[in-house]
Structure 1
Amino acid sequence: MQQKEAGEDGVVVVVGAGIAGLAVALGLHRKGVNCTVLESSPELRASGFAFAVWRNALQALDALGVGDKIRKLHLHIQELHVISSVTGELAQRTDLTVQRKRGPNEMRCVRRDWLLRALEEKLPKGTIRYSSKIVAIEEDGNAKIVHLADGTILRAKVLIGCDGVNSVVAKWLGLAKPAYAGRVATRGLAHYPDGHGLDPTFKMFFGHGFRAGVIPCNDTDVYWFFTRSTSEHDDNGIDESAAKTKQSVLEKLRSTKIPTKVTEIVERSELSGDALAAPLRFRPPLSLALAGISKGNVCVAGDALHPMTPDLGQGGCAALEDAVALARCLGDAILGGGGGGEGESERIEAGLREYARIRRWRSVELVGTAYVVGFVQQSSNAVIGFLRDKLLAGVLAGKLLKMADYDCGTL
């Protein structure tokens, strides 16, 4: 059996090279703290298409030193149009550049692969260890002994779980299993080599029991999503081929008042396994309020902490907020005594407790609000639909801006 002991005091180990994991690693690097990122895949998982990046996340990216690069690669979205798929009428038009309490709002639809590569490029070579799947976690005094599938053993003085909704580290901490939201999502990216010609507008459609949207990422790429309620399947998802999934989405869209341009965008997309109907899961807010986000020298961030439905577009944004707060709290704790030395373990535990304090209620608010917003937007109930079309569209749009008006601070 291959064994690797990473020094007497061990290393800071980050599990998962997704958005949260790479952002945490970069934050620690910028603070002057080295870490090892364990990724189970053989290479960077740059799938996932795109996601909304609001002002709060762009501020976090600025703190990590990649904000300007991401801005240059993606369009500044100017407006949100909320449209009823039942009547075809515009229910709400919202200025996405409006001045908020902490400054003007900013929103861009960011390609996930480009963001991951931007974060990876800023890390020292060798930081990410690929094909490194955790199979067990043990304790040895203040250290955590991490066993990998290939027989390697790492001694970690800090263990940070950024390993997604099915997090091994979250399970070790005893966090509640994420609940199935009763909805599934299909996503895609349409590419127009000669330009798509769309305005920098986020168009969102609701009604008929589903929610759909299109957002241009840049001049050639358009991201789209389609989420629908289902009682036919459990949280293992829907076993359908890419072609069948795409056809199902198109049939739904064509039976409504949604513009043909939207169906053209979906038709133009080549679906892969990443686009198939995926179950939406969330960690119940009450369990999150009572959960042990950190325990000793172990904590979680990103989807490992707060899996949520995508109705606020804040899942990836919250992961970036986590990264800045965690790197700041942990970096200050480790470097507070000049690095290492007597009392380091106590400082680390205190730093992670402070991180948990900062992120707990923000996470509860985001998860709970996203679930309620999604329920209202996708409900096929006639009364809720009437109120949504006539009264609630503005309230729901306002929630998007409110959740983005948040300051995660700097490193």
Structure 2
Amino acid sequence: METKIVEDIVIVGAGIAGLATSLGLHRLGIPSLVLESSDTLRVTGFALTTWKNAWRALDALAVGDILRHKHLLLNGNVTTSLITGQQTSITSFEGTSKHGPCEVRCVRRQLMLEALANELPSGTIRYLSKVVAIEEFGFYKIIHLADGTTIKTKVLIGCDGVNSLVAKWLGFKQASFVGRYATRGYSESKSTHGFEPSFMQYFGKGFRAGAIPCDDRGVYWFFTWTPTSQDKEAEENPAKLKQYVLNKLQKMPSDVRSFIEETDINSFLSSPLRYRHPWELMFGNISKGNVCVAGDAFHPIGGCCALEDGIVLARCLAEAFSKEPMRDIKVMDEEEKANELYKKIEGSLKKYANVRRWRSIDLVASSYMVGSIQQSESKLATFLRDNILAGFLASLLLKKSNYDCGKLNSS
């Protein structure tokens, strides 16, 4: 039997962007409903490097300290060439650069999602709620779920990932393939691992790898690579993929490599890296009427940028749902009131889109450029990367993360 629900704000996707937006709205006294297609919080990617910009957003949401206490503060980035075996750059996070001190920690993705979700009122997240269609209904959107439920909402926010149905409704094409794949994993030692709290990064011919301690026992690692036609079988076979990764990382220090060796074979799954072309973000509909996108549905850049989206979007939407009386409300009929609110919502989402558009274009362009240099197989590009550009590429991370999305109560 079909169930009909009416909501003010519906957010599709209980990932980082969706939960951050919902919690931001909750902190401002505005309820929302989050639709999640799975039966629980979905954890993919194991962990994420959380930079200064993300901690500012997490503090705005009042969950920063919950996560700080569970993760090591990293003191810097150490980059090593696996071609020469030499360190190519050392970058401190402790305030020696012109960008000042940079708080960086490698945060378990599950712990971040739980920290955000646990602060939401009970019933905010509706699991097993897969959106299959969206339709117009006057000043509202009607959302159809796979179980037959229909939801009528004043605002629809797509935080439904790289294959977003909401982004498609707004006119975005499927995000483009960068040409590289990523394999990620997490492993815990039985005792303290003994690593310095630093971001250990390694470059080889056509690949990049890294290992980052999350706490005293756990280490997150990643391996990004450009597959050839001979590598296709490794993409789909976890056992062969694990061997492929370990073969590429033979020159990695044995104590770091051991964490990859001990990672369960089922974690060796390859996923394509995707992005939106800058011109898509420049000319595309980030918002349209009472619909918008955030997080990977908007720009597949990562969790730090998704947290920024959540703060800005919640702050903008709060302006539309403020308790200030609308003009001449006493003489308006119901349709006029709905129209007035729709215009306020449309304006607030346009404001969000204008704020986030250029920040996202900057990060997309920078990420694409850096990734192309870091994983080039060209001898010239490899030489420049290891001998001239290593320090610049590391400092670029500090520059791009030195961004403040603002507080929730800022205008």
- Identify which range, 25-34 or 263-272, moves more after superposition: 263-272
In the alignment, is the contact (CA less than 8 A) between 1:77 and 1:202 conserved in 2? yes
Aligned to 1:298: 291
In structure 1, distance between residues paired with 2:9 and 2:325: 16
Q: CA deviation at 1:225?
A: 0.2
Aligned to 1:249: 245
The one-letter code matched in structure 1 to 2:169 is: W
Per-residue deviation, residues 93-116 of structure 1 (Å, max 9, x unmatched): 000122666752110000000000
What pairs with 1:46-85 in structure 2 (closer than 5 Å)? Answer: 46-85=43-82
In the alignment, is the contact (CA less than 8 A) between 1:188 and 1:271 conserved in 2? no
2:292 aligns to what SS in structure 1?
Answer: strand
Between the aligned residues of both structures, percent identity stands at 52
Aligned to 2:279: 286
What pairs with 1:256-271 in structure 2 (closer than 5 Å)? Answer: 257-271=251-265
In the alignment, is the contact (CA less than 8 A) between 2:99 and 2:399 conserved in 1? no
The one-letter code matched in structure 2 to 1:333 is: A
The one-letter code matched in structure 2 to 1:34 is: P
Aligned to 1:184: 181
2:216 aligns to what SS in structure 1?
Answer: coil
Q: CA deviation at 1:238?
A: 6.3
In structure 2, distance between residues paired with 1:24 and 1:199: 34
Matched, 1:394 2:391: yes
1:22 to 9, 19, 22: 19
Matched, 1:91 2:88: yes
Structure 2 unaligned blocks of 5 or more: 330-336
- Identify which range, 282-291 or 164-173, moves more after superposition: 282-291
Aligned to 1:312: none
Per-residue deviation, residues 342-391 of structure 1 (Å, max 9, x unmatched): 32211111100000000001001111100110110111111111111111
Q: Matched residue pairs, number?
A: 398
In structure 2, distance between residues paired with 1:339 and 1:71: 42
Aligned to 2:334: none
Per-residue deviation, residues 204-240 of structure 1 (Å, max 9, x unmatched): 0112110000000001110000000124399x99652
In structure 1, distance between residues paired with 2:226 and 2:125: 38
In structure 1, distance between residues paired with 2:234 and 2:129: 29
2:374 to 367, 370, 377: 377
Aligned to 2:163: 166
Q: CA deviation at 1:269?
A: 1.1
What pairs with 1:9-408 in structure 2 (closer than 5 Å)? Answer: 10-98=7-95, 103-232=100-229, 239-254=235-250, 257-272=251-266, 275-308=268-301, 315-335=302-322, 337=324, 342=337, 343-408=340-405
In structure 2, distance between residues paired with 1:48 and 1:164: 13
In the alignment, is the contact (CA less than 8 A) between 1:57 and 1:321 conserved in 2? yes
Q: CA deviation at 1:244?
A: 2.0
In structure 1, distance between residues paired with 2:264 and 2:324: 53
In the alignment, is the contact (CA less than 8 A) between 2:178 and 2:274 conserved in 1? yes
In structure 1, distance between residues paired with 2:288 and 2:383: 47
Structure 1 unaligned blocks of 5 or more: 309-314
In the alignment, is the contact (CA less than 8 A) between 1:102 and 1:406 conserved in 2? no
In structure 1, distance between residues paired with 2:61 and 2:391: 33
In structure 2, distance between residues paired with 1:245 and 1:193: 25
Change in CA separation of 1:374 and 1:165 when aligned onto 2, cut-off 3 Å: same
1:181 aligns to what SS in structure 2?
Answer: strand
- Identify which range, 342-351 or 132-141, moves more after superposition: 342-351
The one-letter code matched in structure 2 to 1:143 is: Y
2:30 aligns to what SS in structure 1?
Answer: coil
In structure 2, distance between residues paired with 1:385 and 1:80: 19
Q: CA deviation at 1:150?
A: 0.2
In structure 1, distance between residues paired with 2:82 and 2:99: 34
1:335 aligns to what SS in structure 2?
Answer: coil
Normalising by structure 1, report the TM-score. 0.93
In the alignment, is the contact (CA less than 8 A) between 2:176 and 2:276 conserved in 1? yes
Per-residue deviation, residues 247-304 of structure 1 (Å, max 9, x unmatched): 11111111xx32112221101111435x401111111111111111000000000000
The one-letter code matched in structure 1 to 2:120 is: L
In the alignment, is the contact (CA less than 8 A) between 2:63 and 2:115 conserved in 1? yes
In structure 1, distance between residues paired with 2:129 and 2:111: 23
Change in CA separation of 1:67 and 1:339 when aligned onto 2, cut-off 3 Å: farther
In structure 1, distance between residues paired with 2:86 and 2:78: 10
Per-residue deviation, residues 143-162 of structure 1 (Å, max 9, x unmatched): 00000000000001000000
In structure 2, distance between residues paired with 1:192 and 1:357: 46
In structure 1, distance between residues paired with 2:384 and 2:193: 34
Change in CA separation of 1:237 and 1:402 when aligned onto 2, cut-off 3 Å: farther
Normalising by structure 2, report the TM-score. 0.93
Per-residue deviation, residues 32-82 of structure 1 (Å, max 9, x unmatched): 110100000011113421010000000000000100111111000001001
In structure 1, distance between residues paired with 2:287 and 2:58: 24
The one-letter code matched in structure 2 to 1:300 is: V
Aligned to 1:311: none
RMSD: 1.9
